[in-house]
Amino acid sequence: MYTINTATINDVETIRQLAEATWWPTYSPILEKEQIRYMLDLLYSAEEIEKQITTNEQTFLLLKEGDSAVAFAAYSAYKGEPAAYKLHKLYCLPQTQGKGYGRILIDNVSNIAANAGATKLLLNVNRHNNALAFYQKMGFGIAREEDIAIGPYWMNDYILQKPLPLS
């Protein structure tokens, strides 16, 4: 049994803990330890997450199995395209992968975006991330490549997009 709730600033530490628990197994095969630590400290500081929540820069969803948070997603309207939403974050604890929680969160965000009038959902994924196959199975296609400087490091991503049904 699971529940999905919109995260508040009271959930910042939970999001940080989930990021720590998911990033290392996800990115260790493709990124250096120093880059993972740098990005976690930058993107998942308590101040950064709290700012994103309080300014509505991103909406975070927490998926709980019973009383335990096991996955999260973050999304927003995409500033670059009025008819698009962006899935900024999607992470499930390794021990829960395969239970359908990633699909459930993508479907939830897709429905929110479609109900807001969006016609597509975008996301970035590292070109070497094993999750690429999962996203393609979920209906995302590669739109283009993008190399993003983050401090002294580079993220070599695909921009994926998924068409959304008209609501």
pLDDT of amino acid 82: 85
pLDDT of amino acid 166: 77
| pLDDT tens digits along 99-157 | 999 999 999 999 999 999 999 999 999 999 999 999 999 999 999 999 999 999 999 99
- Statement: residue 167 has pLDDT above 80: no
CA 83 from centre of chain = 19
* Three-class DSSP category at 64: strand
pLDDT average, residue stretch 93-102? 95
Using only the alpha carbons of the chain, give its radius of gyration. 15
Percent pLDDT > 70 in the chain is 99
Place of tokens 């989930």: 18
pLDDT average, residue stretch 26-39? 96
Write out the two tokens for 150: 């983050």
CATH 3.90.1150.10 fits 2-163, yes or no: no
* Three-class DSSP category at 129: coil
- Statement: residue 69 has pLDDT above 90: yes
**H helices of the chain, where?**
12-27, 33-43, 46-54, 101-115, 131-137
Are the C-beta atoms of residues 25 and 94 closer than 8 Å to each other?
Answer: yes
Neighbours of 130 (CB within 10 A): 11
Are the C-beta atoms of residues 44 and 12 closer than 8 Å to each other?
Answer: no
14/143 Cα distance (integer angstroms): 32
Percent pLDDT > 90 in the chain is 95
pLDDT average, residue stretch 20-41? 96
